Amino acid sequence: MSGAVANGQSIFQVIFLPGMAARPAMWASVAKRLQADAFPSEIWEWITPVGNETIGQYSARWVERNRGDAGGRTIVVGASFGGIVGHEVAKLLDADALVLVGSVKTRGDLPVWMRMLSPMRWLAGLVPWRVGQWGVDQARGIWRPFVGKDLALVIEEFVTADPKLIGWSIKRLLAWKGDSDLLCPVTTIHGTKDRLLPMDMNQVDVVIPDGRHVLSLSHAEEIADVLQRLVLLIRVF
């Protein structure tokens, strides 16, 4: 793959995809650390889904919106649902690597309860998400003392997200069949205390002790270190 060259070496563009309906700010600390070490990066903002489009169709619009015909060597980094969409984005960009942070490689990695809900995924499009967001926000004083910091961050993102994007994302997550034709290598980073998407740590490439679901905020330095090492490894080979 060709790409921009500086001092005889190909430059890697690191593209960050946020978690489900989350704001780009979740990746700000990691991206800042990479920029400080001269690793250029982009944080993509979710776009509003159109109709009942698939993850593949959505990803094609997302890539066109952010990259157009831009080339170069690319590493795609996706958190949670962003990692699932990242499978398609990585294929479209012919990426050198896909990094999953608190995400999954296959449908079998999803919790059993998510897979069991798959037949009812059509209900996600009928739920009045804006009303639900308002209710959760109004009940902040009730739920806040009983949830951990990690879950609280997820709830905060839910409250401020585009309701149409929430419904589409949940429907597509439950319908996801997994990916079998991704050609680039995949690296998984997962926390041992992730309760939303728990994983068998024996199947994880980089284990974050005591890490929960939103690793980009709680363990930004560790993730940046992994990405730096990955870029150097790919340059060698």
pLDDT at 236: 56
> DSSP letter string over 102-148?
S--SSGGGS-HHHHHTGGGGGGGGTS-HHHHHHHHHHTHHHHGGGS-
Residue 206 dihedral angles phi and psi, to the nearest 5°: -125, 110
pLDDT (tens place) for every residue of the chain, 237 residues total: 333 344 444 467 899 999 998 889 899 999 988 877 677 889 999 999 998 899 999 999 999 999 755 567 899 999 999 999 999 999 999 999 999 999 999 998 998 988 888 877 777 777 777 777 777 777 777 776 766 666 777 777 778 788 888 889 999 999 998 876 888 999 999 999 998 899 999 899 999 999 988 899 889 999 999 998 888 777 655
Superfamily (CATH) of domain 5-114+177-236: Alpha/Beta hydrolase fold, catalytic domain (3.40.50.1820)
pLDDT at 70: 57
pLDDT at 96: 92
pLDDT at 11: 66
**pTM > 0.95: yes or no:** no
Question: What does the H/E/C string look like for 41-84?
Answer: EEECCCCCCCCCCCHHHHHHHHHHHHCCCCCCEEEEEEECHHHH
For residue 15, give the DSSP letter: E
Domain ranges of the chain: 5-114+177-236
pLDDT at 2: 32
> Residue 101: is it exposed, middle or buried by C-beta count within 10 angstroms (0-12/13-18/19+)?
buried
pLDDT at 237: 57
